[in-house]
Structure 1
Amino acid sequence: MKIEDILKERILVLDGAMGTMIQRYKLEEKDFRNERLKDHPHPLKGNNDLLSVTRPDVIKEIHRQYFEAGADIAETNTFGSTWVAQADYHLESMVYEINYQAAKIAREVADEFTAKEPHKPRFVAGSMGPTTKLASMSPDVNNPGYRAITFDELKGAFKEQAKGLLDGGVDMLLPETITDTLNVKAALFAIQELFEETGRQVPVMVSGTITDASGRILSGQTAEAFLVSVSHVPLLSIGLNCALGASALRPYLQVLNEKSSFFVSAHPNAGLPNEFGHYDQTPEQMAGEIEVYLKEGLVNIVGGCCGSTPAHIKKIAEVAKKYKPRMVHGPLSMVHGS
């Protein structure tokens, strides 16, 4: 059954934080190395995406916990898997492999659950984070015209990532936590080009990040401007994630609900971090805040970002079952496969 058809019938649940779960394993430098990387001269601890290659057992277990909690969609462990982000660890040469292995692991676990519950198919979304560089803003206040990366460099980086994810078996691609609209334009351009070259297409989800109370993403667009700037691509969904807790995201989801002809997604953080950088919002509190969206019919896909765990997703999934999905306005023909 196609995800587009399921989304018309019920709200789908995305998984929660990967990094929050990895922290629980108290991994050491050796966990981030295998035979091939044993003499790599740079520290690798903290490069969580690399664990799909060096500790696939850990990543599989995390995916399993989220599916057991009720998630319909697992995100691959590839948030920082472009050469732009992997350059911090001098691992640009491993980008394709990291994406391919992460997708393969998530696919295996998803298929395992689908086989057990064919009426509730599980999906894999290839997570494509924003990279570590902005295309539309200068990192140097004294030189506003300077750019740390070009559009073409970003396009190449995202294309290599998307190829690894597609070859590894993802059901859809998800450029997410977007802080710079030009970065996601590069990602979407890369994805479209890859689809044309390979003759293979999967649905594309896009999720932006409102960075502060002004209601804008980092490169200055409002939720509506952000929607307009990506609407030239036939998306499966548009949404918001990270940065704010669930209640603070609501007004921006209302905008997307009103203006979007795509499905709408939300995966907020578990509240805002405390002074130690930890998230204190309980699963019950988070599910309660998300229930407000569901009552208002604002979303089709809902999950968690930073600080959320399988316990949070379990509560969110329980609440999501009670509500009907948002009705999609406008031409549904814009969605792939409809």
Structure 2
Amino acid sequence: MGTMLQAQEPTLEDFQQLEGCNEILNVTRPDIVRSVHEAYFAVGVDCVETNTFGANHAAMAEYDIAGRVYELSEAGARIAREVADEFTAREGRQRWVLGSMGPGTKLPTLGHIGYGTIRDGFQANAEGLLAGGADALLVETTQDLLQTKAAVLGARRALNTLGLDVPLLVSMAFETTGTMLLGSEIGAALTALEPLGIDLIGLNCSTGPAEMGEHLRHLARNARIPLLCMPNAGLPVLAKDGAYFPLGPAELADAQETFVREYGLSLVGGCCGTTPEHLRQVVERVRDMVPSVRAPRPEPGAASLYQSVPFRQDTSYLAIGERTNANGS
């Protein structure tokens, strides 16, 4: 979304003097936002995400426009809704809008921002997306489990306030280290997030598909809910003319076909560096596939920020220790 918007060279006036704030374009240049949605629907995708990745309290506060979260979210969803409805009417096949709820720029676990502040900001984000016509809410590119929880519960509050019930999706970003930015393993993320009543869980951003296989294998074995995956077009490569993503359309399509076949994914797509041509080839490859039938074997457990510990007892007694006193003994 961002690179395709920037490629159309919006002016500083288009940004209302807030250069780089792509969400402003939902109000000032809906035509170029619309063109991005049209480009992806034209190659056959079922869903597009709204141009609202940064429409949250943390990101908008950096531009001193935190009070516009609802406005920009509603405008972004309305543009995508109009395009989706036009394609549905034209081709007779239903198209959907995923309301993008990005992670923001502050990590509550590290004390960058208060939990209640970002939760309420995500609620405004979600209420705007729902008012604009989003079919589902996508809490995406999450890097901090506390931030993820704030977004999910903010979205739930919005749904309750508006009396609506739409799917709530969560997509996490795992680094090349194999963990989320703050060190959370995939097991900890699943244990912490699945009980919040979300409808799909999966991965997007940070890496290409090659680095996502093991995480998807864990989710396929343990998650009770459907899975999603939207990789980058590989890991970015820095060249003399700037960074670029090396994974070609055919390679992305190969990976997504494998993921659907082996891990039973229900929703696939692309993140950074994935062009309409990437998605056209993914559509051609997976459209008629039936996801493999999963037989998850979830194991009850508890999770810290970093890892999940199963409630498993061998022949010995189960010792539960208290580790919360000031001395850390």
Where on the TM-score scale, by shorter chain, does this alignment land: which range? Answer: 0.7 to 0.9
* 1:8-157 map, 5 Å: 18-33=1-16, 43-118=17-92, 120-137=93-110, 147-157=111-121
Unaligned regions of 5+ residues in structure 1, if any? Answer: 1-17, 34-42, 138-146, 332-338
Which has the greater radius of gyration? Answer: 2
Q: Distance in 2 between matches of 1:280 and 1:31?
A: 31
Cα distance in structure 2, aligned partners of 1:202 and 1:316: 26
TM (normalized to structure 2)?
0.86
Give the 3-state SS of the residue equivalent to 2:62 in structure 1.
helix
Q: Does the 8 Å contact 2:264/2:294 carry over to 1?
A: no
**Contact 1:300–1:326 (CA under 8 A) maintained in structure 2:** no
Per-residue deviation at 1:196? 2.4
Any stretches of 5+ residues in structure 2 without a counterpart? 298-329
How do 1:2-13 residues align onto structure 2 when only pairs under 5 Å count?
Answer: none
Contact between 1:123 and 1:171, CA under 8 Å: does it hold in 2?
yes
Q: Is the 8 A contact 1:72 1:121 kept in 2?
A: yes
SS at match of 1:231: helix
Higher relative contact order (CA 8 A, sep 6+): 1
Counterparts of 1:1-338 in structure 2, within 5 Å, are 18-33=1-16, 43-118=17-92, 120-137=93-110, 147-213=111-177, 215-275=178-238, 276-327=242-293, 329=295
Indicate the residue corresponding to 1:6 in structure 2.
none
Q: Secondary structure of 2:205's partner? A: strand
The TM-score with structure 1 as length reference comes to 0.83
Residue-by-residue CA offset, 1:283-310 (whole Å, 9 max, x unaligned): 1122122222123143111000001111
1:254·1:298 contact (CA, 8 Å) conserved in 2? no
What letter is aligned with 1:212? T
Between the aligned partners of 1:165 and 1:98, the Cα distance in structure 2 is: 9
Instruction: Give me the whole-angstrom Cα distance separating, in 2, the residues matched to 1:198 and 1:44.
Output: 31
Q: What is the RMSD computed on CA atoms of the aligned residues? A: 1.5
- For 1:244, what is the secondary structure of its paired residue? coil
| Corresponding residue pairs, total | 294
Alignment identity in percent? 38
SS at match of 1:80: coil
Give the partner amino acid of 1:298: G
Amino acid at match of 1:312: H
The one-letter amino acid of 2:95's match is: R
- State the distance in 1 between where 2:233 and 2:227 align: 19
**More deviation, 320-329/245-254:** 320-329
